[in-house]
């Protein structure tokens, strides 16, 4: 096995952008943008919990950074850079080359260079920790506690594909190679909504990225804001790749499925056209799916306005009676 330092030099050392000190010193250095706050977030990915052991290493490198960029997006922050902690059971060079390619590919597209990290041999499974740094003007930050009764609730992109791909790979759904081919990219190569998040800064009120499922993540916003929500089920943007699946599979994937990395946000009804324009400028579709209610709890209503009874299990404690 190559030494830790060889591996760092080969796969994780990139020329630092002008004005930054990157890999190679005790700390990375980057200028704090004038008048802005630093936004920072960490996500930890553990083999067997967050990814399958045989996942494509390039997809894993991409996703390890994507889930963190998604947090910056949900705050309305512009990426500055990131650091990477790796615990490796063994150091296969082809694995590292793939991982680095996926990681740097996404980092380059979002101007979020790898500035440092830590690499150790793991006696057990693979673990990956990424920390991102970004910049946001505090008055434009999209906080979870900023939703107000009467706001529209919006979601970007489409819902459900990642959950279906996960359940196909995990054997929870009957094997269906065509369906897997149509949904797998959503699970393994999520596209963080960084441009949309920044376009919504100072325009939307509250925002969150959907990592654990629409209902659960929306509930975090509602609880932080002291409000509730009414969602119209038939307005939810269902991923086209789910067409033909049983209704219960679809509703579970759309309402409860995780790993989505779309943004769920609220905005004043008077700002509907500005939201649409911001989303169009960012090149991301957005859909209004309901409104913020003064009463706590989430109601999901069918086309006739009747509350859905069988919402995904595990979310019952967020629901109004």
**Rule CB under 6 A: which residues touch ligand ADP?**
8, 12, 23-26, 84, 86, 114, 116-119
CB of 275 to ligand ADP, least distance (A): 37
The tokens of 263 are what? 């943004």
Q: What whole-number distance in Å separates Cα of residue 321 and Cα of residue 217? A: 19
Q: Which residues are annotated as a binding site for Mg(2+)?
A: 26, 41-43, 71, 118, 209, 212
Task: Indicate the residue whose CB is closest to Mg ion.
Answer: 118
CB of 127 to Mg ion, least distance (A): 15
Q: Which residues are annotated as a binding site?
A: 26, 41-43, 50, 71, 117-118, 144, 209, 211-212, 259, 315
CB of 4 to ligand ADP, least distance (A): 7
The tokens of 175 are what? 């094997």
Distances (CA, A) of 147 to 100, 293, 319: 38, 10, 18
- Cβ proximity to ligand ADP, 51 vs 99, nearer residue: 99
CB of 21 to Mg ion, least distance (A): 16
- Cβ proximity to Mg ion, 118 vs 316, nearer residue: 118
CB 102 within 8 A of CB 140: no
- Cβ proximity to Mg ion, 108 vs 118, nearer residue: 118
DSSP 217-248: HHHHHHHHHT-EEEEEGGGS-B-GGGTTS-HH
Helix ranges, the chain (H): 4-7, 57-75, 93-109, 161-169, 177-188, 194-200, 214-225, 247-256, 272-282
Q: Which residues are annotated as a binding site for ATP?
A: 117-118, 144, 211
Residues found near Mg ion in the complex (CB under 5 A): 118
Q: Which does 314 bind (CB under 5 to 8 A by kind): ligand ADP, Mg ion, none?
A: none
Q: Which does 289 bind (CB under 5 to 8 A by kind): Mg ion, ligand ADP, none?
A: none
Q: What whole-number distance in Å separates Cα of residue 160 and Cα of residue 246? A: 13
């Amino acid at each position: 096995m190559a030494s830790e330092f060889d591996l760092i030099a080969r796969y994780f050392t990139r020329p630092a952008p002008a004005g930054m000190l990157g890999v190679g010193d005790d700390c990375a250095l980057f200028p704090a943008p004038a008048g802005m706050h630093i936004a920072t977030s960490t996500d930890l990915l553990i083999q067997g919990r967050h990814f399958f052991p045989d996942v494509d290493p390039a997809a894993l490198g991409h996703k390890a950074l994507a889930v963190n960029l998604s947090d910056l997006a949900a705050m309305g922050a512009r990426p500055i850079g990131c650091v990477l902690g790796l615990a490796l059971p063994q150091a296969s060079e082809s694995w590292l080359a793939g991982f680095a390619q996926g990681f740097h590919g996404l980092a380059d597209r979002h101007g979020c260079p790898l500035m440092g990290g830590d690499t150790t041999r793991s006696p057990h499974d693979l673990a990956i920790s990424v920390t991102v740094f970004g910049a946001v003007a505090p008055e434009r930050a999209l906080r979870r506690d900023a939703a107000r009764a009467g706001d529209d609730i919006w979601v970007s992109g489409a819902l459900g594909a990642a959950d279906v791909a996960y359940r196909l790979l995990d054997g929870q759904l009957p094997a269906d190679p065509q369906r897997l081919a149509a949904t797998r990219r959503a699970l393994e190569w999520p596209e963080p909504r960084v441009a949309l998040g920044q376009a919504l800064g100072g325009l939307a009120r509250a925002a969150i990225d959907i990592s654990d499922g629409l209902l659960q993540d929306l509930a975090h916003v509602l609880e932080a804001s002291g409000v509730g929500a009414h969602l119209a089920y038939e307005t939810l943007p269902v991923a086209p790749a789910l067409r033909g699946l049983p209704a219960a599979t679809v509703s579970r994937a759309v309402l409860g499925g995780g790993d989505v990395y779309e943004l769920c946000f609220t905005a004043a009804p008077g700002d509907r056209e500005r939201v649409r324009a911001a989303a169009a400028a960012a090149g991301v579709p957005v859909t209004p799916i309901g409104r913020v209610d003064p009463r706590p709890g989430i109601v999901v209503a069918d086309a006739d306005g009747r509350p859905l009874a069988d919402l995904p299990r595990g979310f019952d404690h967020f629901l109004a009676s």
